Structure 1
């Protein structure tokens, strides 16, 4: 019975060989990888700003040089270009109804355009230095927020082209801002003075801020998260999340970028992913060429993509179907994700070759019958869906020569065979198997002089290797004791033993040197720990 059980333990596998780690792709990575990226060329200069229209079919505007180009989110082809700027366009923002588009440029001018006719309806002049950002408040068609290098934040009456309120709280360039998703009167601005300030235009004394937080480095972008109680700030190589309801307490800091983070936006997982509730993510773009997806509910980065140029801006469409990224070399990387509904519509538009989906102009495929050979081949080209359970065929086990010999209980031949293969992991695995069978010393006793020389050569080479020394050092001692007479009668075997002795002595010297070094370092480490 014992021999029968032993015969089922093959093939012999090395225990000391580490298993390679296989990185499985998570559902989150699959979702963000499903956006098939394509390049939008012919945009010469850096893409400083990207903004989506809030209304279908969700076109987006790209600011580059002294122009503002509108693109279709379905075909990614340019639909219109606005060139009535005297300097580089720094920011763009759609109104809540998608009919008007505001843009700021480095001359300090803020303009409002009709999206359909592309004519400038208002020109807002008040900034004395370059204007860096402009935003329409949520559900507000009459006002604008802007900020610039004059360290001022302005609240505009668009119809009257006048400044209603001017907020002078920052001490350096105001480079970014965002409006609250729950209130049209509240907004946040970020500056190169390292601070982010929360403003409320209903407060009469605007010098008294609602909340101020210090990011710790020049702030490049700030966004409100969908709840309205959290904001995310980007500056240096970090993205930080702050709790406004808790008085501006920092909740977490993400420092996965290697260079400056230039832009942030909020993305939402599509409904067809099977999630029970809305899953919001923060998308960050940096000068290191990486776009990161940050799950702020779990405080971890869930996906990362590398692009061949520094990234300047990122935006995500309201329908969760389009993601665009602007680079410093004038290329827009646009990606669109096909939903299950759009794939089904596309399949219906293309038509099928089955008898049920064929049209009058398409040839009908003959119905499958058991008399057709194709009947028995049906379904073999189909790919499994996510919920399918795959029944895989068991692969036949290929046994090596030493495994076959072990299976036949020819222990000595198995040891000699594996020694010829010169694979130390397999040799040690066979030796461990022979130890478990209590046959290793019996095999050593029955080796002839040539086979004994091969064993001594192996022990000389690998007995001092840390991975194998636990077994081989003890075996070496037993081999020398058991075969002392044979070793003394053969010059070749004596040579193997002398080489083995030198290796062991050298290993002992190395261990003694390491112990001396440890004795010197240990008191220093203890002193350092006390300080």
Structure 2
């Protein structure tokens, strides 16, 4: 009785699968996050923007409606986040190419640098220039406002100097020295207005604290390649650096410890930004991703919590800059030829969706619908009500499990007809199914019983299968052991049948050929290994 209960407990109501899986089968199913990023599309009535020259910088306003500014040629263009059309152009004070742009925390002022070595401050609404900060002897590549401080900003340039400015008086408060090559990027700390970072072509990222400015940078991190961009992650304790074809995550609180290196780009990574994904209140609310763009034309989305690439998108031009709106609705990418790829994600507004019945009797002028007769248990429709209703977003859905279609050998296994299941799998000529059935029979301790009960024709099917697939690497260890047992158990039947002898001869020939191939490979490895060791020493 106990054995019968054990048999029933292992009965399969679903298809058996082989334990040994080939590594070449890669799932191509599109993940939910990949669908999320593909939902950022350019509206049909908005063509791809083509500006005058390379788009070197993109900055989103911190406050709603989150307009964004881009630098190209000797111009700063401000785009509306609602229409995605240009709403303002600033070009009059620039004497050379604009390189970097940054909004103040209240989005009322805008600062931008240029190749002439100046930092310009504008009023966003009137577009009037308010301040011009002179002090850099070489082109300015970095301009940033602190997260909340409205009176100061910092800048960096090709003179390898980082400057901290008092905007109201147009004076520089600190000259921050330490870099030995061009300063090309930087970012302000999200948790302290006194701290910021800068990246340079001397391969280093320096962390500055203006409260201890006299002692130089408070931390130095070596990226290993010229640093093209560096950003703080939202927690303020981690930073991401881009240089060469790699993006690296560093723990600033832990003393500048390297946490992870992402090397999925083929060319230089030019720009980074942080994007918040998911719906407010949903499962993915407040999750952040790093967006990186490169000269290879790819935009990569990196989940730095799990250290994996979650999405990749190809564009036809080398990419120089990327920006993502704080509300997660707009993604902007700038290219080397002046093309601006603007993607907008549609967000459903549940407050605008009303049914006609919501307005009945409220004086809206909508006529009352004819009243339907109330359903009662005596009506047939009472027991079918609601079956065609579509679920709303707030409904919890319980999906019916899909009915599994069982193959013939799976049906026979479910009925404990073990020998018939093995023969059915052998006739199916699918090696994956045959191996899966054999492994299931091993688990049930019935495989050798089935082999002993096979007639001559069925034994020929089994020996033919072993001859064809015993030398395959993914099945060799299992099938070779089975082949030895089959030969030992059915030796008399094999001697009495010329057909079975032929299968054994073929199996022996294939095994000997596989052994010769393996020996040849080992000889080649013995020749190459010393050469590789010598080359490594040089």
Given the two structures, how large is their TM-score scaled by the length of structure 2? 0.76
Match of 1:422 among 414, 422, 429: 429
Deviation at 1:92, TM superposition (A): 0.8
In 1, are the aligned partners of 2:179 and 2:200 still within 8 Å (CA)? yes
Q: Cα gap change, 1:518/1:228 in structure 2, threshold over 3 Å: closer, same or farther?
A: closer
Secondary structure of 1:117's match? Answer: coil
After TM superposition, the structure 1 stretch with the greater mean CA deviation from structure 2, 470-479 or 382-391, is 382-391
Q: Cα gap change, 1:286/1:368 in structure 2, threshold over 3 Å: closer, same or farther?
A: farther
Secondary structure of 1:96's match? Answer: coil
Alignment match, 1:38: 42
Alignment of 1:90-109 (within 5 A): 90-109=99-118
In the aligned structure 2, how far is the partner of 1:392 from the partner of 1:111?
62
Q: Cα gap change, 1:407/1:241 in structure 2, threshold over 3 Å: closer, same or farther?
A: closer
Q: Cα gap change, 1:481/1:106 in structure 2, threshold over 3 Å: closer, same or farther?
A: same
Task: Give unmatched runs, 5+ long, in structure 2.
Answer: none
Q: Cα gap change, 1:256/1:368 in structure 2, threshold over 3 Å: closer, same or farther?
A: farther
The question of 1:132 aligning with 2:132 is answered no
Deviation at 1:91, TM superposition (A): 0.7
Alignment match, 1:471: 482
The one-character-per-residue Cα deviations of 1:423-467 (angstroms, maximum 9, x if unpaired) are 3444556667497176435533x43xx666555544443454415
Alignment of 1:77-116 (within 5 A): 77-84=85-92, 85-116=94-125
Q: Cα gap change, 1:26/1:398 in structure 2, threshold over 3 Å: closer, same or farther?
A: closer
Alignment match, 1:64: 72
In 2, are the aligned partners of 1:173 and 1:192 still within 8 Å (CA)? yes
Task: Give unmatched runs, 5+ long, in structure 1.
Answer: none
Alignment match, 1:221: 229
Alignment match, 1:176: 185
Given the two structures, how large is their TM-score scaled by the length of structure 1? 0.77
In the aligned structure 2, how far is the partner of 1:105 from the partner of 1:203?
29
Alignment match, 1:343: 349
Query: How many residues are paired up?
Result: 510
In 2, are the aligned partners of 1:71 and 1:78 still within 8 Å (CA)? yes
Deviation at 1:47, TM superposition (A): 2.1
Q: What's the C-alpha RMSD, in Å, of the aligned pairs? A: 4.6
In the aligned structure 1, how far is the partner of 2:412 from the partner of 2:345?
54
Alignment match, 2:495: 484
Alignment match, 1:197: 206
Which structure's CA Rg is the greater one?
A: 1
Q: Cα gap change, 1:65/1:346 in structure 2, threshold over 3 Å: closer, same or farther?
A: farther
Alignment match, 1:154: 163
In the aligned structure 2, how far is the partner of 1:414 from the partner of 1:271?
50
